[in-house]
């Protein structure tokens, strides 16, 4: 058997190429242009550590496309961050913002570091230096960062402060989202990605595509990751009557057939720093979590967790991609063949960037909306985005929309939800590129 390619750039190209097969009317040159990032910044800087030694850090900021507005995308602090990963995530942001129809382009950033081995003051120095080196890149109308893996409200507050000090005399709050509430953050931003996952799942299940699974209440749910996204998703699904049977973090997975008590899990994680060891639970590996017998599987941690090696063993009826890029194209194919539905990352986790947009709007208006207003708007946006993709998928499924293979002349198979979502997003970006006259 040939080894599966896990390079994030190759994977995003494969997903894009598959979607572009369903876009007949666009020139191939324009399609090629849309694949490329607009700008790639690679930065190195030295930081004095707490023990007075000096270490050099490698960082990235990639802006993929700005046809709809400023670049928008999180900043990830992780030892395995690469230029390829950041570029593929910046592309994903372009399609995500276009799909949910918010006026942002796609960007992403990363710093190669292990936050578990850095002190708070070292993290602050790294963040300030990263921001000052990108002072001409970041801006409320050019590139607006946000949190991602191992970054949080505190990181965003340092970015805001550094930018504000270097750009005095302006309302600089819209330069970064995911800020603390007292510095212009939005109610509901921290919870928005996990909550958006719930809204998207609710709407998808209401279409009654999956026998015996038409609502969240009563569903058995397994969630990989217990950070910003996974923890909130667990709480939100639980509140709607789902049973959370498994949760994991980088230490491993905890499982309980009768359902986990989230208050106890949160307390245990706070006091022990990990989930494994929680009393009255069975310990499993993260690999075993993916293959668990459950109704809904929510990968909410790292990429490439569902691959050709385990896709044929998955027992969940529905996969909701809270994480970015958790499923490889090879696994997509296996899941399609097995009739397992998947809500792709570009809709499933778009709640985060949607509320980031609401934060940006509030910052310009010097307002702070209440939580109910934010959640109502988020729900409407998530439901509407599912409806757009579902309607188009149905049109393909019943043959109202058809696509012919350019080589064989044969009718192409009905695309999966990822492909339909990408087709919709790519068409929007392509049309805007033509309308603006960017493409000659
Ligand atoms: P986080 O840093 O808050 O949490 C990450 C979680 O993943 C932690 O529980 C960690 O222990 C776990 N983890 C790390 N390595 C793991 C591994 N190898 N196996 C299993 N678990 C592992 O990050 P987050 O903000 O919750 O982001 C999670 C995912 O959601 C990422 O893919 C991110 O890109 C995506 N995402 C986040 C947001 C957001 O608003 N934070 C928005 C959209 C997408």
Mean pLDDT for 166-177 is 97
Ligand 1 probe mutation, 96, 106, 250, 268, most atoms within 8 A of CB = 250
- Rounded to 5 degrees, what angle do the CA atoms 267, 182, 233 make? 40
How long is the chain? 440
Q: What is the pLDDT of residues 353-401, one digit of tens each?
A: 999 999 999 999 999 999 999 999 999 999 999 999 999 999 999 999 9
DSSP string, 67-133: SSSSEEEEEEE-TT--HHHHHHHHHHHHHHHHHTT-S-EEEEEEE---GGGS-HHHHHHHHHHHHHH
Answer whether residue 1 shows pLDDT above 60.
no
Give the three-class secondary structure for 291: coil
Q: What is the dihedral of CA 232, 234, 236, 242, to 10 degrees?
A: 180
User: What is the overall mean pLDDT for the chain?
Assistant: 96
- The continuous run of DSSP H or E covering 266 comes out as helix 262-272
Q: Please give the radius of gyration of the chain, using alpha carbons only, rounded to the nearest integer.
A: 21
Minimum CA distance residue for ligand 1 atom 31: 323
Mean pLDDT for 215-220 is 98
DSSP string, 179-228: --GGGTPPTTHHHHHHHHHHHHHHHHHTT--STT-SSSTT-EEEEE--SH
Instruction: State residue 98's pLDDT score.
Output: 98
Residue 232 banded pLDDT, cuts 50, 70, 90 = very high
Answer whether residue 26 shows pLDDT above 90.
no
- Rounded to 5 degrees, what angle do the CA atoms 251, 256, 262 make? 75
93 lines ligand 1 (CB under 6 A): no
Q: What is the pLDDT of residues 318-334, one digit of tens each?
A: 999 999 999 999 999 99
The whole-model pTM stands at 0.97
291 lines ligand 1 (CB under 6 A): no
Q: How far is C-alpha 177 from the chain's CA centre? A: 15
Mean pLDDT for 238-266 is 98
Q: How far is C-alpha 184 from the chain's CA centre? A: 23
Query: Annotated active-site positions, please?
Result: 108
Minimum CA distance residue for ligand 1 atom 19: 250
Residue 407 banded pLDDT, cuts 50, 70, 90 = confident
Instruction: State residue 430's pLDDT score.
Output: 96
C-alpha of residue 62 to centroid of ligand 1, in Å: 20
């Amino acid at each position: 058997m040939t080894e599966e390619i896990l390079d994030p750039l190759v994977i995003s190209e494969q997903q894009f190429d598959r979607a572009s097969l369903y876009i007949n009317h666009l020139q191939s040159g324009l399609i090629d242009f849309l694949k490329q990032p607009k700008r790639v910044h690679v930065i190195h800087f030295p930081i004095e550590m707490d023990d007075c030694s000096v270490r050099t850090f490698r960082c990235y900021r990639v802006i993929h496309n700005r046809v709809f507005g400023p670049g928008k995308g999180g900043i990830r602090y992780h030892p395995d961050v690469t230029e390829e990963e950041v570029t593929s995530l910046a592309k994903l942001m372009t399609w995500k913002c276009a799909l949910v129809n918010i006026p942002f382009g796609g960007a992403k950033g990363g710093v190669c570091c292990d936050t578990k081995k850095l002190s708070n003051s070292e993290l602050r120095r790294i963040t300030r230096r990263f921001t000052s080196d990108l002072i001409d890149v970041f801006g409320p109308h050019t590139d607006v960062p946000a949190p991602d893996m191992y970054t949080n409200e505190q990181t965003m507050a340092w970015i805001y402060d550094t930018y504000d000090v270097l750009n005095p005399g302006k309302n600089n709050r819209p330069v970064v989202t995911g800020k603390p509430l007292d510095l212009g953050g939005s109610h509901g931003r921290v919870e928005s990605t996990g909550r958006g996952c719930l809204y998207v799942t609710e709407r998808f299940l209401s279409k009654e595509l999956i026998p015996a699974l038409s609502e969240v209440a009563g569903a058995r749910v397994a969630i990989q990751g217990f950070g910003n996204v996974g923890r909130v998703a667990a709480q939100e699904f639980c509140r709607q009557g789902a049973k959370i049977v498994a949760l994991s973090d980088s230490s491993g997975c905890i499982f309980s057939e009768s359902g986990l008590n989230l208050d106890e899990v949160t307390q245990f994680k706070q006091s022990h720093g990990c989930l494994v060891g929680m009393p009255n639970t069975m310990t499993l590996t993260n690999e075993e979590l993916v293959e668990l017998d459950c109704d809904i599987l929510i990968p909410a941690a790292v990429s490439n967790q569902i691959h050709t090696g385990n896709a044929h063993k998955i027992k969940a009826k529905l996969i909701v991609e809270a994480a970015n890029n958790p499923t490889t194209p090879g696994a997509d194919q296996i899941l399609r063949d097995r009739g397992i539905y998947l809500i792709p990352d570009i809709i499933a986790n778009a709640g985060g960037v949607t509320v980031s947009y609401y934060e940006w709007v509030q910052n310009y208006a010097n307002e702070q909306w209440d939580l109910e207003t934010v959640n109502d708007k988020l729900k409407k946006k998530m439901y509407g985005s599912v409806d757009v993709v579902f309607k188009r998928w149905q049109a393909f499924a019943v043959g109202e929309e058809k696509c012919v293979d350019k080589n064989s002349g044969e009718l192409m198979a009905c695309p999966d939800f990822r492909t339909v979502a990408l087709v919709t997003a790519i068409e929007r970006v392509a049309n805007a590129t033509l309308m603006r006259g960017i493409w000659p």
